Structure 1
Amino acid sequence: MFYKHNHGKIAILIVYVDDIVMTGDDIVELESLKNFLSNQFEVKDLGQLKYFLGMEVARSSKGIVISQRKYVLDLLKETGLLGCKPVATPVDPNQKLEKEDGAEAVDKNRYQKLVGKLIYLAHTRPDIAFAVSLVSQFMHCPSEKHYKAVHRILHYLKGSPGKGIMFSKNGSRRVEIFTDADWGGSSTDRRSTTGYCSFVWGNLVTWRSKKQPVVSRSSAESEFRAMAQGVCELLWLRKILEELKVEGDKPMRLYCDNKSAINIAQNPVQHVQTKHVEIDRHFIKEKLENGDICIPFVPSSEQLRRCSY
Structure 2
Amino acid sequence: MEIPQSLKVEDTQLVCRLRKSLYGLKQASRQWYDKLTESLYSRGFRHSTNDYSLFYKKQGESSVFVVVYVDDVILTGTNLGEIKALKTYLHNQFKIKDLGKLRHFLGLEMLYKGDGVLISQRKFTIDLLKEYDCLEYSAISSPLESSIKLRAEEGTLLSDPSYYRKLVGKLNFLTNTRLDIAYSVQHLSQFMQAPREPHLKDAIHVLRYLKNDPTLGIFLSNDPSYKVITYCDSDWVAYPDSRRSISGYLVLFREYRSLRKVVGELVWVQRLLEEVAVPCTDPIQVFCDSQAAVHIARNPVFHESTKHSSSILTKALTGIKHSDLLDKLPVRSSPPT
**TM-score when scaled to structure 1?**
0.77
Q: CA deviation at 1:64?
A: 0.5
CA shift in 2, pair 1:121/1:302, >3 Å: closer
Aligned to 2:17: none
Aligned to 1:306: 312
State how many pairs are aligned: 258
| 1:210-225 matches, cutoff 5 A | 223-225=255-257
Contact 2:129 2:211 survives alignment (8 Å): yes
Amino acid corresponding to residue 120 of structure 2 in structure 1: S
Aligned to 1:4: 57
Q: CA deviation at 1:106?
A: 4.3
> Root-mean-square deviation (CA), in Å?
2.2
> Within 1, Cα distance between the matches of 2:176 and 2:98?
26
Bigger Rg, structure 1 or 2? 2
Contact 1:105 1:144 survives alignment (8 Å): yes
Q: CA deviation at 1:38?
A: 1.4
Q: 2:231 aligned with 1:178, yes or no?
A: yes
> Within 2, Cα distance between the matches of 1:143 and 1:156?
21
Q: In structure 2, the residue corresponding to 1:161 is in which secondary structure?
A: coil
Q: CA deviation at 1:82?
A: 2.2
Range moving further from structure 2, 251-260 or 44-53: 251-260
**TM-score when scaled to structure 2?**
0.71
Amino acid corresponding to residue 267 of structure 2 in structure 1: L
Aligned partner of 1:243 among 257, 262, 275 = 275
Aligned partner of 2:105 among 52, 60, 63 = 52
| CA deviations over 1:135-194 (Å, ceiling 9, x no partner) | 011111111111111111111111111111111123543222101011222111221110
Q: In structure 1, the residue corresponding to 2:311 is in which secondary structure?
A: coil
> Within 1, Cα distance between the matches of 2:91 and 2:134?
44
> Within 2, Cα distance between the matches of 1:161 and 1:131?
16
Amino acid corresponding to residue 226 of structure 1 in structure 2: S
Q: CA deviation at 1:303?
A: 4.3
Q: 2:81 aligned with 1:28, yes or no?
A: yes
Q: CA deviation at 1:251?
A: 2.5
Aligned partner of 2:139 among 80, 86, 89 = 86
CA shift in 2, pair 1:237/1:112, >3 Å: same
Q: In structure 2, the residue corresponding to 1:306 is in which secondary structure?
A: helix
Q: In structure 2, the residue corresponding to 1:65 is in which secondary structure?
A: strand
Q: 2:289 aligned with 1:257, yes or no?
A: yes
Amino acid corresponding to residue 244 of structure 1 in structure 2: V
Q: 2:247 aligned with 1:230, yes or no?
A: no
> Within 1, Cα distance between the matches of 2:98 and 2:287?
43
| CA deviations over 1:31-62 (Å, ceiling 9, x no partner) | 12111111112122221111111111111112
Aligned to 1:15: 68
Q: In structure 2, the residue corresponding to 1:241 is in which secondary structure?
A: helix
Contact 2:66 2:73 survives alignment (8 Å): yes
Q: In structure 2, the residue corresponding to 1:43 is in which secondary structure?
A: coil
Q: CA deviation at 1:302?
A: 5.0
Identity %: 38
> Within 2, Cα distance between the matches of 1:171 and 1:13?
21
CA shift in 2, pair 1:70/1:301, >3 Å: same
| CA deviations over 1:223-268 (Å, ceiling 9, x no partner) | 100100111110111121122121113432221112363699xxxx
Q: In structure 2, the residue corresponding to 1:300 is in which secondary structure?
A: coil
CA shift in 2, pair 1:257/1:125, >3 Å: same
Contact 2:66 2:75 survives alignment (8 Å): yes
Aligned to 2:172: 119
> Within 2, Cα distance between the matches of 1:259 and 1:96?
25
CA shift in 2, pair 1:246/1:106, >3 Å: farther
Q: In structure 1, the residue corresponding to 2:312 is in which secondary structure?
A: coil
